[in-house]
Structure 1
Amino acid sequence: MDNCEALVAIDFGTSNIGFAFSFPPEKDRIYLATSAPGSQQGEEPTPETNNGSTIQDGAVALSLVHVTKLPHNRVPPVLLLNANGTINAFGKLAVDRYAQLVVTKKHQGYRYFDNIKMQLYENDSLTRESEFQDGEGRKISALGLFSKLIQYIGKLALQSMRETISNNSKVNPNSVFWVLTIPAIWSDSARQFMREAAAEAGIPRDRIRLVREPEAAAIFWKKGMQTSGNLNIKKLSVGNKYIIADLGGGLVDICVHEILPDDRFRELHKATGNDLGGNSVDNMFIQFLMKVVSDKVWKIFFRQQYFDFVKLMRSFEEFKRKFDTKTEKIVIELPASLIKLAEQNARSTFSDIVKAVEEHEYVTVVDETKLHLKKEIVESFFKPSVDGIVSMLTDILKECSNTEINNLILAGGYSASPYVTEFIKMEMARMDVTHVREQELAVLKGAVLMGFEPTDIIERRARYTYGFAIARPFEEKIHPRKLKFYRDGKVLCRDIYHKVIDKNQLLKVGDTFKVETRNNDRKFFKFKQREACAQLFRSTKDDPKYCTKEDGCTEVFSSKIEAPERVGPRGFVPIMFLLSVTLTLKFLRLIYSLEENTPQEKKSCNTKCTVTFYKVIVHVPFSSCNLQLHLQPSRVKCWNPNYGWTFDSTNSEHRKLWTCF
């Protein structure tokens, strides 16, 4: 982080988004996003404004300052756009304003987007041309939408920083380093999508760092463990292992770590997770109501009475947060508009409609509009989620049976649910289950802290097998005929998978994996090679044989090295490629290095020699890339009419590799 005057972290959650920032001289002084008088959204300010105070909550002792202009530290990542694509409202205000527009039937000219982050998780084939749909089914560029949201939050953060320091001119946007949180289980394409969106939003690519949400929560927990004076907090030491489970609104994200010396940690199991976060409970509640009133009625209610739908779900959210294993029932007041639609459709009273439901013994209608839901029915809303979480935790322990893991740490807003915590503690009784304090803010604060940490703070496990496509002499009894091809008079098999990284292999920053292809036996004076290619693939299988879909392979990138357009008397070049492709894994970002000449220009060395560089064309499928490309020249080749092709004198042992032709 060279020339870093400030660091901004954006926690881009499925259900909520927020930002915080800090300045390098005081890394532990974290500024949170809370509204102040004059909020752009016009919302009421948060009651607590602990300006300049130090909060010691038993989990982390950090100086927290509330200065920025959001109504809460985290708000829903919802956008309401005007017809011209500009932002009309953001967050809770966007939800409320759109709901009012629906009531007045004036919403047609607006574009409403919610739950957009889940679409990245659900889309396995993201491209730069991918599109999302708004509430009316109209499409918009996914990349453009995300960049618009990041740009909006980024501007709020920069404005807040300027107001925080005494001299506004000291905030230079080019000196700000940005951290974006992402789920650990996201695909390569979703991660690259976030990088591209941030770049589209105007953040320099070299000033962006993506951090995994469970790891950010772990950093926050570790910091609190080290600084807290609370004797009730168990302090783990070097060598201890733990599971960190980030239970969010949309996703459940689980990592397993071992504490290493120097505040570092090692991943013991590849990241695991699913989409059974807190929103799945809401979905189960909705499915139950659809069973009661019918799918048809619910769709009409959602489309025409969106304001009432929002009120209903917010009411359920309050009860969901309070529900625990001791709760006997909850009471939900249904909107009169929903009841009226249901009665008109069924031509019956709402009480009779409910009595016809299979679960009627657990549901009672009181005062015509209130549903009394017994404990059993509410637990059924939680069941798929908590069962899925416990199943994943159990599977992890089985797969790590040779490793003693006794500590489970819960983070994320969904972990604040008493029922979820109690259920997990009961089912995972053999483990010491603890919370990260401030579950909803742990990832955000941890992202700030992690942004100041070196990139080699963690050793990770590869989620895929990585390998290069190579060619070998074709063998009739072994190789498939569809991969057979001819080159320079030889019969070869293409797309043979040359594995360089195993799935689940432990990887450290700086680890290097090489594969070299050398055309030593090719007769270059006879065959004038115009290009050389290299392709990298990943696979979901442990030992793929070929770079094909049948072997679970997806192209990560391909490169083609071409000769200059016109070099030499006949306009072609006999190129001998001593091609060495180096894979360096840094935080699961693959850095691809071609040991060849890369600029696409000619430079005069003297009157007799022109240095000609090769042209490199790199094709990176957006759906697969999670990498950075570094194309570095290693040798210089010269064309001289008197001597033909030679290497630069710095590589004298290779001088006069070619003679005139």
Structure 2
Amino acid sequence: MATRGLLVGAIDFGTTYSGWAFSFLNDFHLDPTKASVKQWYSSGILVTEKAPTCLLIKSDGKTLEEFGYDAENKYRELADNEMHEEYYYFRRFKMALNKKLGEKLDRGMTIEDEMGKSMIALNVFAIAIEYLVGDMMKSVNDTLKTPLKKDDVHWVLTVPAIWTDAAKQFMREAAVQADLLTNKLTIALAPEVASIFCRHLSVDTAISGGNISIAKMPVGTRYMVLDAGGGTVDITVHEIVNENSVKEIQSASGGGWGGILVDMVFENLLIDLAGPEVYKTFKRDETDDWLDIWCDFEVKKRSVGPENNARVNMRFPLSFSKTFEEITKGNLMDAIKASKYAKDIEFCGDKIKISASLFKSLFEHSIGKTINHVTSLLRDANVRKIKTILMVGGYSESPMLQHAIKQAFTGQDVVIPIGASSIILRGALVYGHSPVSIRERVLKYTYGVDSHKSFKEGTDPEHLKVIGANGARCRVFSKHVEKGQIVKCNEPQVEKSYKTRNKFQSAVDFDIFATEQCNPRYTTECTLIGKLEIDLPEPEEQPGRRIKVSMTFSGTEIIVKAVDEKTGKNWSVFINFLG
């Protein structure tokens, strides 16, 4: 079994909650599920194995004041004393990286904090990762006689499987900016590591699923992994290869339908009640009260279930009603009574009472999107016969989502491990110690490079014509791998040979393209995702020098290998997806 050193550290950087864990190699060999997981406290009370992904950054844009629950509490305190405007307060910013193929993502991208102030996104992510790494190293060294350095650790950073290659690279660069060595860092896909971890769990470690155990399923069994987090719902289908390995048989898919979509619906409800100007003013001028609303809503959101029929009572500051009156010159209670919410919402002092039906309806959009997508996947021939759905991720702990999945898919066993929110964190440790756990993946896109072929008059577009030493040529797409193709991890795919086009050519540039089409002819039908630049020693007088190019899907990132046939020199580089 391949391993990566004596200590592996895992960082689960989530949209709503984040955390870290570590495990030593000896402990892993004795029990792969054993892990030291950070226990996060709020106001002295043990809360969770993950903390809110909240950063309070000083006005210099560089110094972290607080993280997690401490950031929430400190910002509330600052807001109460009207001192919060001197700080940046970021929460749920990870969704800025949830892009589609072709959507721009670069190192200079900025994101806004909760009050609309901007910072370079890469800096924000790096500050968060740096804190989590430092916090873990302090905990590790508190238990050792001889302190370790972070370079002694192999780090695993989890990302959604549906993310683009550019987003994955962005996270790697943020980690490197946080002073992690790139050769000591693995980017892992969240549903994959969760699936690997559950291969080691017994039946009694699940809160749902009857007597189903992922660990005891025979070789060849296929099952769906539904990773429902705060930001995204990430779905893959795996087949068991052996005791320690799985392979992907359906490429990752999903969307931004996680728990914060419920929050967005609730926020729209508040805006609908009072108007956008009232809500914006309340958030800006009564920030501490605004924070209180969201803290209470998070508690209610996590606890409400389909069987709840009683009204949901939440703390609701009087300052909200006061802001409404100051701006509209009207009464909020009167406005509600005259609205479509008359039967579902009522105020009583500093509380709001919401009917169970209205509160549960906040989940409909998120759950509906998820169920529709799973339903469409189950129509696929590779997926149709699966009998098990494994639910992991923080949002999978929601009684509303659990019930909806079970009701919608009665033909499948729904397995929900105990502590579904920390399964990804623990699975990242297993993957860090044993990276061969994933044998094969299914490609989401077709990948290739910009090449040239003989120009076909009347067929090829004139604007793609290139005149060179060999006459009229056309810029075309040279396919290396195809969407839906199964690739073995860490093995080169389809080596192709390309020729230089100019005399004394000292360098070759390859534009790397991706597309959702299977067989495009032109690169104009594709998305430019990166570049590969190669310097050629001893330039030749005549064009036609051959360069062999292949792609390797190593782990979660793409490595391009190029070989100069003349010298035998080779290059192996990660594609630069950020330009």
Within a 5 Å distance, the mapping from 1:405-420 to structure 2 comes to 405-420=386-401
DSSP-derived class of the 1:224 partner:
coil
Q: Which of the numbers 49, 57, 60 marks the counterpart of 1:73?
A: 49
Task: Provide the residue aligned with 1:595 in structure 2.
Answer: 563
Question: How many angstroms apart in 2 are the aligned matches of 1:406 and 1:467?
Answer: 36
Task: Provide the residue aligned with 1:168 in structure 2.
Answer: 146
**What is the TM-score with the length of structure 1 in the denominator?**
0.80
DSSP-derived class of the 2:254 partner:
strand
Q: Does 1:33 align with 2:38?
A: yes
Q: Does 1:220 align with 2:197?
A: yes
| Alpha-carbon spacing, 1:596–1:226, altered in 2? closer, same or farther (3 Å) | farther
| Alpha-carbon spacing, 1:3–1:331, altered in 2? closer, same or farther (3 Å) | closer
Task: Provide the residue aligned with 1:102 in structure 2.
Answer: 79
- TM-superposed CA distance for 1:307, in Å, is 0.9
Q: Which AA in structure 2 matches 1:338?
A: F
Q: Which AA in structure 2 matches 1:237?
A: P
| Alpha-carbon spacing, 1:418–1:78, altered in 2? closer, same or farther (3 Å) | same
Task: Provide the residue aligned with 1:361 in structure 2.
Answer: 343
* Cα RMSD for the two superposed structures: 2.8
Question: How many angstroms apart in 1 are the aligned matches of 2:568 and 2:563?
Answer: 12
Q: Does 1:503 align with 2:483?
A: yes
| Alpha-carbon spacing, 1:220–1:289, altered in 2? closer, same or farther (3 Å) | same
Contact 2:508/2:534 (<8 A) preserved: yes
Question: How many angstroms apart in 2 are the aligned matches of 1:178 and 1:116?
Answer: 22
- TM-superposed CA distance for 1:458, in Å, is 3.3
Q: Does 1:127 align with 2:106?
A: yes
| Alpha-carbon spacing, 1:107–1:122, altered in 2? closer, same or farther (3 Å) | farther
Within a 5 Å distance, the mapping from 1:357-506 to structure 2 comes to 357-365=339-347, 367-400=348-381, 403-455=384-436, 457-488=438-469, 490-494=471-475, 496-506=476-486
Q: Which AA in structure 2 matches 1:582?
A: S
Contact 2:196/2:437 (<8 A) preserved: no
- TM-superposed CA distance for 1:475, in Å, is 0.9
Within a 5 Å distance, the mapping from 1:235-250 to structure 2 comes to 235=213, 236-250=217-231
Task: Provide the residue aligned with 1:578 in structure 2.
Answer: 546
Q: Which of the numbers 542, 553, 558 marks the counterpart of 2:527?
A: 553
Question: How many angstroms apart in 1 are the aligned matches of 2:533 and 2:23?
Answer: 40
Structure 1 unmatched runs, 5+ = 36-40, 47-70, 599-611, 625-661
Question: How many angstroms apart in 2 are the aligned matches of 1:432 and 1:254?
Answer: 16
Q: Which AA in structure 2 matches 1:160?
A: S
Task: Provide the residue aligned with 2:160 in structure 1.
Answer: 183
Question: How many angstroms apart in 2 are the aligned matches of 1:614 and 1:241?
Answer: 42
Higher-Rg structure is 1
Question: How many angstroms apart in 2 are the aligned matches of 1:317 and 1:591?
Answer: 41
- TM-superposed CA distance for 1:354, in Å, is 0.9
Q: For residues 297-346 of structure 1, what are the alpha-carbon distances to aligned partners after superposition, in whole Å with 9 as ceiling and x for unaligned?
A: 11111111111111111212222222112211212231110011123334
| Alpha-carbon spacing, 1:316–1:402, altered in 2? closer, same or farther (3 Å) | closer
DSSP-derived class of the 1:99 partner:
helix
DSSP-derived class of the 1:623 partner:
coil
Q: Which of the numbers 77, 89, 93 marks the counterpart of 1:112?
A: 89
Contact 2:561/2:571 (<8 A) preserved: no
**What is the TM-score with the length of structure 2 in the denominator?**
0.91
Worse-matched range after superposition: 223-232 or 269-278: 223-232
Task: Provide the residue aligned with 1:298 in structure 2.
Answer: 279
Question: How many angstroms apart in 1 are the aligned matches of 2:268 and 2:412?
Answer: 34
DSSP-derived class of the 1:441 partner:
helix
Q: Which AA in structure 2 matches 1:540?
A: E
Task: Provide the residue aligned with 1:233 in structure 2.
Answer: 211
Contact 2:449/2:477 (<8 A) preserved: yes
Question: How many angstroms apart in 2 are the aligned matches of 1:433 and 1:32?
Answer: 26
Q: For residues 200-234 of structure 1, what are the alpha-carbon distances to aligned partners after superposition, in whole Å with 9 as ceiling and x for unaligned?
A: 11111111111111112212222113896999431
| Alpha-carbon spacing, 1:616–1:3, altered in 2? closer, same or farther (3 Å) | closer
Q: Which of the numbers 147, 151, 154 marks the counterpart of 2:133?
A: 154
Question: How many angstroms apart in 1 are the aligned matches of 2:20 and 2:252?
Answer: 24
Structure 2 unmatched runs, 5+ = none
Contact 2:99/2:167 (<8 A) preserved: no
Worse-matched range after superposition: 177-186 or 369-378: 369-378
Worse-matched range after superposition: 384-393 or 318-327: 318-327
Question: How many angstroms apart in 1 are the aligned matches of 2:80 and 2:63?
Answer: 22
Question: How many angstroms apart in 1 are the aligned matches of 2:561 and 2:35?
Answer: 38
| Alpha-carbon spacing, 1:436–1:300, altered in 2? closer, same or farther (3 Å) | same
Task: Provide the residue aligned with 2:577 in structure 1.
Answer: 622
DSSP-derived class of the 2:379 partner:
helix
Contact 1:103/1:304 (<8 A) preserved: no
- TM-superposed CA distance for 1:614, in Å, is 8.8
Task: Provide the residue aligned with 2:313 in structure 1.
Answer: 331
Contact 2:156/2:185 (<8 A) preserved: yes
| Alpha-carbon spacing, 1:206–1:536, altered in 2? closer, same or farther (3 Å) | same
Contact 1:562/1:616 (<8 A) preserved: no
Q: Which AA in structure 2 matches 1:281?
A: V
Q: For residues 509-532 of structure 1, what are the alpha-carbon distances to aligned partners after superposition, in whole Å with 9 as ceiling and x for unaligned?
A: 21421111247xx9x9xx544444
Contact 1:14/1:77 (<8 A) preserved: yes
- TM-superposed CA distance for 1:489, in Å, is 5.0
Worse-matched range after superposition: 345-354 or 443-452: 345-354
Question: How many angstroms apart in 2 are the aligned matches of 1:384 and 1:595?
Answer: 51
User: How many residues end up aligned between the 2 structures?
Assistant: 565
- TM-superposed CA distance for 1:576, in Å, is 5.3
Task: Provide the residue aligned with 1:12 in structure 2.
Answer: 13
Within a 5 Å distance, the mapping from 1:247-326 to structure 2 comes to 247-326=228-307
Q: Which AA in structure 2 matches 1:547?
A: T
| Alpha-carbon spacing, 1:430–1:613, altered in 2? closer, same or farther (3 Å) | closer
Task: Provide the residue aligned with 1:655 in structure 2.
Answer: none
Q: For residues 369-392 of structure 1, what are the alpha-carbon distances to aligned partners after superposition, in whole Å with 9 as ceiling and x for unaligned?
A: 433222221122110011111001
| Alpha-carbon spacing, 1:256–1:597, altered in 2? closer, same or farther (3 Å) | same
Question: How many angstroms apart in 2 are the aligned matches of 1:517 and 1:324?
Answer: 60
| Alpha-carbon spacing, 1:173–1:218, altered in 2? closer, same or farther (3 Å) | same
DSSP-derived class of the 2:21 partner:
strand
Question: How many angstroms apart in 2 are the aligned matches of 1:238 and 1:2?
Answer: 23
- TM-superposed CA distance for 1:103, in Å, is 2.8
| Alpha-carbon spacing, 1:220–1:401, altered in 2? closer, same or farther (3 Å) | closer
- TM-superposed CA distance for 1:248, in Å, is 1.0
- TM-superposed CA distance for 1:503, in Å, is 0.4
Question: How many angstroms apart in 2 are the aligned matches of 1:363 and 1:452?
Answer: 52
DSSP-derived class of the 1:14 partner:
coil
- TM-superposed CA distance for 1:96, in Å, is 2.1
Question: How many angstroms apart in 2 are the aligned matches of 1:144 and 1:223?
Answer: 37
Contact 1:21/1:31 (<8 A) preserved: yes
| Alpha-carbon spacing, 1:619–1:503, altered in 2? closer, same or farther (3 Å) | closer
DSSP-derived class of the 1:440 partner:
helix
Question: How many angstroms apart in 2 are the aligned matches of 1:402 and 1:341?
Answer: 53
DSSP-derived class of the 2:498 partner:
strand
Contact 1:460/1:587 (<8 A) preserved: no
DSSP-derived class of the 2:163 partner:
coil
Contact 1:538/1:554 (<8 A) preserved: yes
Task: Provide the residue aligned with 2:23 in structure 1.
Answer: 22
Question: How many angstroms apart in 1 are the aligned matches of 2:132 and 2:361?
Answer: 37
Where relative contact order (Cα < 8 A, 6+ residues apart) is larger, the structure is 2
Q: Which AA in structure 2 matches 1:142?
A: A
Within a 5 Å distance, the mapping from 1:642-657 to structure 2 comes to none
